[in-house]
Amino acid sequence: MRIGTWWNWLRDWWQRLKGNERLSLTFEAVIVLATTCYAIIALLQWSAMRESNRINGTALVLVQRAFITPLSDIEGSRHAIRNPDGTETMIGISLEPKVENTGTTPARHQRSVCGWRPFQGDLPKNFDFGDSPDRFGPASFIAAKTSTGVDEFMIGVNTLHAVANHQTRIYYWCTIIYNDIFQKPSDEPHRTEFCDYIKEVNMSVFDLAEKSVGFTAIACPIHNCADEECRGN
C-alpha cells in the first residue's frame, strides 16, 4: 500500500469515528506517548546512575587499594670477622632494599624476585633482570601503610672499595607482583618494578665504629614502572 493511499484510508477512518471515540483514542494515544517518554527518561537515568556508580567504585578502589612502591634510601649492616689479636676486619655489607604499601588496604600474595651486580656505567637496554615467573619467591602479606624488606644481599669489601674509587657501581633491582583485596582470583596481579644503583660510597662505610650504614640510591633509566607501564615495556 502506497503512503498516499494509506493516508487517505486513515483519514476516512478517522472521519467515520464518533466524537467520543475520537476523544478516547486521542486520550489513549497521549497516555501511550507519555508512558513511552517516561520509560525512555527512566532508562537514560538508570544508565547514567549505573555509570556514575561505576566511576565512583573505580575511584574508591584507586584511592584505597594496596600500592607497593620502593623506598629511595637503602640501609645496610656491616659484617666483620674477629682476628686472633681481638681486632675485627670488615668483610662486607649486607644491603636490604625495602618497599612500602602506600595504600589503605593490605597487599596479598606478594611475591618478589630481586638481584644485584656491580657494573661499570649504565646497564644495557636489553639487560636480563631475571624476573621470569618461575623465579619469584614465596608469597607474603604487606599491611597497609607499612614497609618491608624484599631481599638481602652481601656486598664484598673489594666491591665497596671499587665503588668508592669510582671504578664501578652497585646495581640492584626487584620485580614484585601482588593482589589487592578488591581483585577477583582471575584478575592479573599488580606489578611493581624498580632498579637503583649506588655510585658513591663514603669512606666512613669502612669504619666499624659507625653503627648505621646508609646509602642514597639513584633510579636506573629502565625497569622502573608500575602495572600497565610495566606491561608496555
DSSP code string of 92-151: EEEEE-EEEE-SSS-EEEEEEEEEEEEESSSPPTT------GGG----EEE-TT-EEE--
Indicate whether 41 pLDDT > 60: yes
Domain shared by 57 and 98, yes or no: no
Domain shared by 114 and 25, yes or no: no
Domain shared by 208 and 107, yes or no: yes
Q: Where are the beta strands (DSSP E) in the chain?
A: 68-70, 73-82, 88-96, 98-101, 107-119, 140-142, 147-149, 153-156, 169-180, 190-198, 213-216, 218-219, 225-226
> Which residue range(s) make up the domain with 10?
3-64
Looking at residue 108, what is its pLDDT? 92
- For 4-42, letters b (16+ CB in 10 Å) and e give eeeeeeeeeeeeeeeeeeeeeeeeeeeeeeeeeeeeeee
Distance CA 94, CA 205 (A): 12
| Number of domains forming the structure of the chain | 2
Domain shared by 92 and 131, yes or no: yes
Looking at residue 223, what is its pLDDT? 93
Reported as a single tens digit per residue, the pLDDT across 175-209 is: 999 999 888 888 899 999 999 998 888 777 777 76
Domain shared by 183 and 87, yes or no: yes
Distance CA 159, CA 94 (A): 12
Domain shared by 20 and 54, yes or no: yes
Distance CA 3, CA 10 (A): 10
Q: Which among 228, 113, 85, 128 is positioned nearest to 174, based on CA atoms? A: 113
For residues 77-103, give the mean pLDDT: 88
Looking at residue 43, what is its pLDDT? 81
**Nine-digit cell string for 69:** 612502591
Domain shared by 117 and 211, yes or no: yes
Distance CA 122, CA 114 (A): 18
Domain finish residue from 17, 40, 64: 64
Question: What is this structure's pTM?
Answer: 0.71
Domain finish residue from 42, 64, 86: 64
Domain shared by 149 and 199, yes or no: yes
Domain finish residue from 20, 45, 64: 64
Band the pLDDT of 62: cuts 50, 70, 90.
low
Which amino acid appears at position 13 of this protein?
A: W
Q: Are 174 and 190 in contact (CB under 8 A)?
A: no
Distance CA 113, CA 193 (A): 10
Reported as a single tens digit per residue, the pLDDT across 142-160 is: 999 999 988 889 999 899 8
Domain shared by 56 and 82, yes or no: no
Find the largest Cα–Cα distance for the chain: 126
Distance CA 168, CA 155 (A): 13
Domain shared by 116 and 189, yes or no: yes
Domain shared by 79 and 25, yes or no: no
Indicate whether 60 pLDDT > 60: no
Domain shared by 27 and 77, yes or no: no
Indicate whether 7 pLDDT > 90: no
Reported as a single tens digit per residue, the pLDDT across 115-142 is: 999 998 888 888 999 888 888 989 999 9
